[in-house]
Amino acid sequence: MNPLTNVKNIKKLTEQELQTNNKTSWHDQYKDSAWIFIGGLPYELTEGDIIAIFSQYGEIVNINLIRDKDTGKQKGYGFLCYEDQRSTILAVDNFNGIKILGRVIRVDHVTNYKAPKDSKNIDDETKKLRKEGCAPKKD
């Protein structure tokens, strides 16, 4: 599906939800994941820039900005994990479809985030996050 069509569809879902008196939200199906997908990012943004933008809605505990293996340049999309899953709802509702440096970005929930394969340069905390995830623990 075209990324801009997906942006419009997510906005439609949110608008429909606001107009109805449903007790549940379409976001509820993602309650077990604190990860979001961010696409359409300007190529000149760094991880620090993205954290500065997205930390408006919560504490960020992990970011995976996808980069080209040969050149190291970012590919324009990535994944971000919030400390609190509720922050994902705010990020999806408020950042999806906005323009950053002239590019419309797409922000959506991620159901089952799969961490990249471990490399030799990963610290223990990152290994733990990748193994256990950062979604809320079920009681």
* pLDDT tens-digit readout, 10-57: 777 777 666 666 666 767 777 888 999 999 999 999 999 999 999 999
Helices marked H in the chain? 3-19, 47-54, 86-95, 124-132
Which H or E run contains 76?
strand 74-82
Best CA proximity match to 30, nearest among 107, 97, 108, 83: 108
Question: What does residue 59 show for φ and ψ, rounded to 5 degrees?
Answer: -75, 125
Superfamily of domain 1-12+32-108: RRM (RNA recognition motif) domain (3.30.70.330)
Please identify which residue in the block is written with the tokens 């933008």: 53
DSSP 97: T
**pLDDT tens digits for range 48-98:** 999 999 999 999 999 999 988 888 889 999 999 999 998 999 999 999 999
Least confident of 71-85, 103-117, 121-135: 121-135
Question: Domain spans of the chain?
Answer: 1-12+32-108
> What is the pTM assigned to this prediction?
0.71
One-letter amino acid at 79 equals: F
